[in-house]
Structure 1
Amino acid sequence: MANKSEKGSGGLKDIMDRLKGSMGGGDGSQDPSRRKVQFSFWYFLLALLAVSFLQNYFFEQQMLKIPYSEFKQHVREGRVKNVVIETDKIRGQMFSPDDQTDKYFVTVRVDDPDLVKLLDEQGVKYTGRLESRLVAAILSWLLPMAVFILFWSFLIRRMGGGPQGVLSVGKARVKIYAEKEVGVTFEDVAGIDEAKAELQEIVEFLKTPEKFQKIGAKIPKGVLLVGAPGTGKTLLAKAVAGEAGVPFFSMSGSDFVEMFVGVGAARVRDLFGQAKQNAPCIIFIDELDALGKARGLNPMGGHDEREQTLNQLLVEMDGFEPNSGVIIMAATNRPEILDPALLRPGRFDRHVAIDKPDIRGREAILRIHSRNVKLDDDVDLHKIAAMTPGFVGADLANLVNEAALLAGRRGKDVVGMAEFQEAIDRIIAGLEKKNRAMNPHEKKIVAYHEAGHALVAMSVKNADPVNKISIIPRGIAALGYTQQLPTEDRYLMTREELLDRLYVLLGGRVAEEIVFGDVSTGAQNDLQRATDIARSMVMEYGMSSRLGLLTFTREPRSPFLDVAGPRVREFSERTAQEIDEEMAVLMEEAHQKVRFILMEKREYLDRLASILLEKEVLEGEELKRFAEEVRAAGRNQRREKGGSAETGESGGESVKGSIAPD
């Protein structure tokens, strides 16, 4: 009996729920079957109205339309059998003598008081009827409303509202990766060993939280990853989730802000609510600067939508329970513009700087990205790493892919060293344009220009070895380039090294002066970079004997992006004039030094230019032999002058691993 009564009550409850859902009550949105029944009812109603309307329309289209005068004539002749008099028309049935059949007709009603008398005289049956306008009224209201609802639903779905329309706009559009879906571990990350060591503690807490809880330690609530674009911030965050084996919630800072007021704050609340339900887990917010920019920077005043979203994020982070198992990770390359409230202890407790990899890190990154690429036996990843200073993980991944694509275009089964060399040249200097036609005089200017760069680099003490010289045009404006291969990564530069960099940059321009007695526009990029070095030496590094140990710049510069704010001038006009004069002195001294070097080695300058005009590209063993001959000649000249063979013309280092386009 008990089972029977429960079954009966359950059936009654199910019937009531269905009735409630069909009438639009309750949470029908959660039950697809009830929502389907409700929509089916509206479809049936619309179909019924449409059928009624179309039936009347097509019925009237099939009726014979006659003028009112002709209608009265048919009545007088006794052909009309019956009529229905409506508000604005008259319908009826009459006999047609042409085909001996009855036909339905319709005519426009005219205000005629004699019509009823005429119908009585002819014995025509007639009746009156008031036309119902209910269907027309319903359609005139229902159709525009239905069109508006459909358009609004479509708009909400396109804006990210999802299948539930406007009610789901406040839902966080977060990508959730399960434990096995992340697919990235620390083995897939290389070149940032210090950052991996910093985050290993986070992994240990997520795996074994009791290890820290029993001694009263509190894990950092937030970890901020800062670094240049492409250094692997997002990859490192995924690796932490993959190592810990926990869900990974990923969103971008721009995903929180929408056109509706309050949507950003609602999405923040929803994101943290989902995270707490799936703890332990990791929340990762990429490009945090889109959301966490310092408040009060709005020139119009007040709190805009972005600031409200930021306020909600601050509240959610500060309201975390200790050891709740939810860790926030964020990445940005603009940490200097973040709100100070985000960076204080208790929110983003730990800041992990991800720098550009050194030569060993680049080699390790190349090994990871080339795991699935068939390499030739002559490929030396250490040499490739030495040829790519300043490259980050994304650049190296692109390098490996470009080399593989080039090998495929050449029909090779493996990727060789030549493809990697070509890929490096293409990434740095641009696509090689062998078909660009240069007249012989222009080609000669380019050859002497590049020979001047290379000869100065071979003649100074600390310059990196010249690895390749080419006069084949590349990219948009590069008519040639000189590539130097650094022997090691450098993080500091002395005054003599900066001066040597000036010498190498001015080598092309001075070579044109010596040989042709005139100069071209090809040295524009060299002069711009040389001027920047001279300005930095005088204004930033205190390397001017005239101005002393003073610095004259306070520009807000991003540590990870080559972006500088407006210069803040805090010195007088007289000091500005002295700065200009000191920069001019540095440039002129460098100009005379380079002129002396090239005049002294004019024979080698002509020889190198002739080789370039003949072969267009000089590299490998031939270039090494030529460089050694130049250095040996320099040592012999210094011995003849009584100098030391161990001392160069000057101390210096050229642009490390750079390709100087001219």
Structure 2
Amino acid sequence: MGGLVGGHDEREQTLNQLLVELDGFDPSVGVVLLAATNRPEILDPALLRAGRFDRQVLVDRPDRSGRRAILRVHAAKVRLAPDWDLDQVAAITVGFAGADLANLVNEAALVATRRRADAVTLADFTIAIERIVAGIEKKHGLLGEDEKRLVAYHELGHALTALALPSTDRVQKVSIVPHGIGALGYTLQRPSEDRHLQRRTELIDRLTVLLGGRAAEELVFGEPSTGAADDLARATGMARDMVLRFGMDEGLGPVAYADAPASPLVGLPAMSTLSERASPATAERIDAAVQALLGHARQRATEILRDNREMLDRTAAALMAQETLDEEALLALTAGLRAAGRPAAIRQVA
């Protein structure tokens, strides 16, 4: 109702009537009007002018202390085992919103109920986090040997590149058991601390990890599969953000080319779409910059995996035999992994 509109008479009339009602309040009555939205970037500016909704309060995802407080409230509703550690659960749920934490407690209780336990343990919470992040494990529709081998190398392409790049999130588990909808395997990475900013080198490392699965397929099998579709979409979106929003291409310089409604709370575009003000020549340079970032990340991932090829083969054999490797097993199998250095200069293809 209060969104940016054009050509919709009913919406405009409703918005105008809302503005009339807001302006019609008697200031001496002491009425305080509150409103909430998950999409502040699409609100009509008229709603945010002085005397209307002129004070915005950002309710962001909770930090570690906030997650601890929220978990304490919801965990009081279930019986907890002696090994329950509030601080540890708060530490491994970086990025969870309040609703996510409430759902986590319910999922952990369900896990405990399925195994007919009297109390919810820390392990139940760990399993619940995996179910929320990766989806429910499928008991049927297991992979054939050829696809299992392909998925194993793909997931380990992500895992080994992440382990070789110290700025990336911890790898907590690698699995080739199908989960959720369409996920034939997954590499579970979780941040160890709350982060609000990321440097250019860190984003390049994340791009490298995203393309590690495809790089492993090309290195081992000589060609890619369709399994990297989601990785490519995420990597392309990240590369476009780096060029369009964050001005991280050295050739284009510190210029923001994104043209999207900015959020009145955080001041960032809602999505990275190319501004109509950019000339065709600039658009071509932007495409070239995005392609250069992705090409560099792919090449870097390939080099990491090629340098650790023997370890990749050995770890893939273990993953195919066990189907799931936790962090401890993965670190034991990859002891001696050759770490990657800082990213080299990125050159655009003319």
Residue 412 (structure 1) shift: 1.0
CA deviations over 1:279-305 (Å, ceiling 9, x no partner):
xxxxxxxxxxx3x446xx451559865
1:504 Cα offset (Å): 0.6
Q: Separation in 1 of the partners of 2:11 and 2:243?
A: 43
- Whose strand proportion is higher, 1 or 2? 1
Gaps of at least 5 residues in structure 2 are: 344-350
8 Å CA contact 1:557–1:564 kept in 2: the answer is: no
User: Deviation digits for residues 245-273 of structure 1, max 9, x if unmatched?
Assistant: xxxxxxxxxxxxxxxxxxxxxxxxxxxxx
In structure 2, C-alpha distance between the alignment counterparts of 1:566 and 1:588, rounded to whole Å: 21
Structure 2: distance between partners of 1:348 and 1:304 = 18
SS of the equivalent of 1:482 reads strand
Q: Secondary structure at the match of 1:634?
A: coil
Q: Kindly provide the CA deviation profile for residues 22-41 of structure 1, in whole angstroms up to 9, marking residues without a partner as x.
A: xxxxxxxxxxxxxxxxxxxx
CA distance in structure 2 between the aligned counterparts of 1:448 and 1:339, rounded to whole angstroms: 49
**Does residue 504 in structure 1 map to residue 209 in structure 2?**
yes
Partners of 2:165 and 2:205 within 8 A in 1: yes
Aligned to 1:352: 57
Correspondences of 1:355-504 after superposition (within 5 Å): 355-504=60-209
Q: State which structure, 1 or 2, has the greater radius of gyration over its C-alpha atoms.
A: 1
Q: Cα distance, 1:625 vs. partner?
A: 3.0
**What residue is the counterpart of 2:338 in the other structure?**
634
Q: For 1:325 and 1:310, how far apart are their aligned partners in 2?
A: 19
SS at match of 2:108: helix
Cα distance, 1:610–1:334 mapped onto 2, change above 3 Å: same
Identity of aligned residues (%): 48
Runs of 5+ consecutive residues of structure 1 not aligned to the other structure: 1-289, 636-647, 652-662
What residue number does 1:571 align with? 278
Q: C-alpha deviations, 1:148-202, integer Å up to 9, x for none?
A: xxxxxxxxxxxxxxxxxxxxxxxxxxxxxxxxxxxxxxxxxxxxxxxxxxxxxxx
- Match for residue 95 of structure 1? none
Alpha-carbon offset, residue 544 of structure 1: 1.4
2:313 is aligned with 1:606: yes
Match of 1:547 in 2: 252
Matched, 1:649 2:341: yes
Q: 1:587 & 1:338 partners in 2: Cα distance?
A: 34
- The corresponding residue for 1:334 is 39
Distance of 2:33 and 2:126 partners within structure 1:
41
Render the CA deviation track for 1:206-264: whole Å, top value 9, x for unaligned.
xxxxxxxxxxxxxxxxxxxxxxxxxxxxxxxxxxxxxxxxxxxxxxxxxxxxxxxxxxx
- Within 1, Cα distance between the matches of 2:12 and 2:222? 62
SS in structure 1 of the partner of residue 127 of structure 2:
helix
Say whether the 8 Å CA contact 1:554–1:568 is kept in structure 2.
yes
- Asked whether 1:580 is paired with 2:284, we answer no
- TM-score of the superposed pair, with normalisation by structure 1: 0.48
* Inter-CA distance 474–312: structure 2 relative to 1 (3 Å threshold): same
CA contact (8 A) 1:553 1:569 kept: no
Does the Cα contact within 8 Å between 1:432 and 1:473 map onto a contact in 2?
yes
Report the Cα offset of residue 521 of structure 1.
Answer: 0.7
How does 1:149-164 map onto structure 2 within 5 Å?
Answer: none
Shift of 1:542: 1.5
Is the 1:314–1:341 contact (alpha carbons within 8 Å) kept by the matching residues of 2? Answer: no
Q: 1:433 to 1:301 in 2, by over 3 A?
A: closer
The reply on whether 1:615 has 2:319 as its aligned counterpart is no
What is the alpha-carbon distance in structure 2 between the residues aligned to residue 590 and residue 337 of structure 1?
34
Aligned partners of 1:490, 1:411: CA distance in 2, in Å? Answer: 38
Q: Which moved more, 1:367-376 or 1:557-566?
A: 557-566
1:388: Cα distance to partner? 2.4
Contact 1:446 1:480 in 2 (8 A): yes
C-alpha distance 365-536 of structure 1, shift in aligned 2 (>3 A): same
Provide the C-alpha distance between the structure 2 equivalents of 1:553 and 1:293, rounded to a whole number of angstroms: 20
Please tell me the residue identity of whatever aligns with 1:299. Answer: G
1:535 and 2:224 are equivalent in the alignment: no
Q: Distance in 2 between matches of 1:493 and 1:351?
A: 25
- Quick one: structure 1 residues 583 and 368, their matched pair in 2 at CA, closer, same or farther if it must change by over 3 Å? same
Q: Deviations over 1:358-404 (max 9, x none)?
A: 22221221111101111122233333233322211011101111111
Per-residue CA distance 1:609-655 (angstroms, 9 max, x = gap): 1111111111143234335x13xx437xxxxxxxxxxxx5237xxxx
**Which residue matches 1:242?**
none
Work out whether residues 314 and 342 of structure 1, in 8 Å CA contact, stay in contact via their aligned partners in 2. no
CA contact (8 A) 2:150 2:217 kept: yes
| Partner Cα separation in structure 1 for residue 16 and residue 246 of structure 2 | 42
In the TM superposition, what are the counterparts of 1:79-228 in structure 2 within 5 Å?
A: none
How far apart in 1 are the matches of 2:272 and 2:13?
Answer: 25
Between 616-625 and 447-456, the greater mean CA deviation after superposition: 616-625
Deviation at 1:562, TM superposition (A): 10
The 3 A distance-change label for structure 1 pair 588 and 335 is closer
Deviation at 1:417, TM superposition (A): 2.1
Which position in structure 2 is the counterpart of 1:123? Answer: none
* Deviation of the 1:452 alpha carbon: 1.1
Q: Which ranges of 4 or more aligned residues in structure 1 deviate by more than 6 Å?
A: 559-562
- Give CA deviations for 1:63-84 in whole Å, capped at 9, x if unaligned: xxxxxxxxxxxxxxxxxxxxxx
Cα distance in structure 2, aligned partners of 1:593 and 1:477:
28
Superposed CA deviations along residues 316-372 of structure 1, whole A, max 9, x for unmatched, are 33x231xx4433222222334444454333344532211111222212211111011
Q: Give the SS at the match of 1:490.
A: coil
Match of 2:348 in 1: none
Asked if the contact 2:241/2:272 (under 8 Å) is kept, the reply is no
Give me the whole-angstrom Cα distance separating, in 2, the residues matched to 1:304 and 1:485.
Answer: 44
- Tell me: higher relative CO, structure 1 or 2? Use CA pairs within 8 A at least 6 residues apart: 2
Task: Give secondary structure in 2 for the equivalent of 1:467.
Answer: strand
Q: CA RMSD in A?
A: 2.5
For 1:495 and 1:365, locate their aligned partners in 2 and report how far apart those are by CA, in whole Å: 33
Question: 8 Å contact 1:386–1:485 — kept in the other structure?
Answer: no
Q: How many residues align?
A: 341
Following superposition, the deviation at residue 436 of structure 1 comes to 1.5
Q: What is the alpha-carbon distance in structure 2 between the residues aligned to residue 539 and residue 620 of structure 1?
A: 36
Partner Cα distance (1:433, 1:304) in 2: 48
Cα distance in 2 for residues equivalent to 1:507 and 1:565: 24
